[in-house]
Amino acid sequence: MKILVTGGAGFIGSNFILHMMNKYPDYEIVNLDKLTYAGNLENLKSLENNPRYTFIHSDICNREIVKIAMTGCDAVVHFAAESHVDRSITGPSIFIETNIVGTEILLEVAKDLKIKRFHHVSTDEVFGTLSLDNKNEKFNEETSYSPRSPYSASKASSDHLVRAFIETYDFPATISNCTNNYGPYHFPEKAIPLFITNALENKPLPIYGTGLAVRDYLYVTDHCIAIDLILHKGKIGETYCIGGDSEMNGIEVADTILDLLEKPKTLKTFVEDRKGHDMRYAMDHSKITKELGWNPSVTFEEGIKKTIAWYKENEPWWRKIISKEYLDNNRAQANK
């Protein structure tokens, strides 16, 4: 099988490529990535000379390059997206362009080329927010969409586009909505890698508002396994919710990391809350468990220890990323 992976130099995409290349010795991967600030080819350095791996530096909004990249592929796994809520609040236009227009271009080209399977990777944020009071309430495949940020609105739009192609053109697609991922290669603007790298440098851990907002966390390799299963065994036209059974608020996440690194709790710092901050996400993954036999295999306790160990062992990777020169260069490249 030959698979086009969009956004494969990003956090989840690079972990997925490594998973697939290791598991399937006869598979070929084409990685199409614009290399914006969060894309990093060092994540895939081990594949540089692998004849089964091809990297194409381009934008999913470039229809001609998308066609070149997709030609000869059997399947598409679509990760490419602008994904940080805070950035969507200060500059929503790029989220509309990449997440909506880019997805439409991929769908059109895939339809024209008669791609056998298109898998669209989405987020739990399209569903809005849950109450902190009712712990039994969770998102599932039947939950109505209620996006509350420009990021989640753009992802909701892309989900609807995929469903429209399924219904209108009998297009062979599947969708997955996943909770918060963490693990190796996570760009250190997101909470967990930011907390880890700041704690290692004895810097404050910034916690939004009261710190009571809850997220459901999933170790990234478990997400990759779920997508692998959906790609090979999922039913065309279906959506699958992927959850980690690990609900924690910001204070609990910070305390866990500080305890494991033996750092003082005084490093916790409360900052102004995010605009339109969703208070709780949680996912019911019973459908993918029942139909495909998937369950999260890494507990948060295990996963956070692995993640901390990875950041300690790969200090040059994240130090380079948080350097001003690196960020400036990547922002300039993204704006070209």
pLDDT at 127: 97
Segment 145-188, tens digit of pLDDT: 999 899 999 999 999 999 999 999 999 999 999 999 999 999 99
All residues at 6 or more sequence positions from 193 whose CB lies less than 8 Å from its CB, including other chains: 182, 186, 187, 307, 311, 318
What's the confidence (pLDDT) of residue 325?
Answer: 44
Taking the C-alpha atoms of residue 248 and residue 252, their distance in angstroms, rounded to an integer, is: 6
Average pLDDT over residues 293-300: 98
Catalytic choice (28, 124, 216, 278): 124
Residue 293 identity (one-letter amino acid): G
Specify the pLDDT at position 200.
97
* Residue 35 confidence (pLDDT) above 60: yes
Which of 28, 125, 216, 284 is catalytic? The answer is: 125
DSSP 175-223: EEEE-EEESTT--TTSHHHHHHHHHHTT--EEEETTS--EEEEEEHHHH
pLDDT tens for 187-231 read 998 999 999 999 999 999 999 999 999 999 999 999 999 999 999
Residue 31 near residue 5 (C-beta atoms within 8 A): yes
Q: How many CB atoms lie within 10 A of CB 166?
A: 20
Q: Which domains, and CATH codes, for the chain?
A: 2-334 (3.40.50.720)
Instruction: Give residue 193's pLDDT.
Output: 97
> Does residue 328 surpass a pLDDT of 60?
no
Length of the chain: 336
Q: Per the structure block, which two tokens stand in for 38?
A: 């969060």
Q: Is 97 a catalytic residue?
A: no
* Contact (CB, 8 A) for 126 and 282: no
The yes-or-no verdict on residue 336 having pLDDT over 70 is no
Q: Assess whether 169 carries a catalytic annotation.
A: no
Tell me what pLDDT residue 214 has.
97
Q: Active site residue: 59, 82, 104, 151, which one?
A: 151
Tell me: pLDDT of 112 over 90.
yes
Residue 71 pLDDT level (bands cut at 50, 70, 90): very high
Residue 82 or residue 68, greater confidence: 68
Percent of the chain clearing pLDDT 70 (strictly above)? 96
Is 327 a residue whose pLDDT tops 80?
no
Share of the chain above pLDDT 90, in %: 87
Checking if the pLDDT of 323 tops 90, the result is: no
Residue 303, both tokens: 């996963």
Mean pLDDT of the chain: 94
Question: Quick check: is 125 catalytic?
Answer: yes
Query: What pTM, to 2 d.p., does this model score?
Result: 0.94
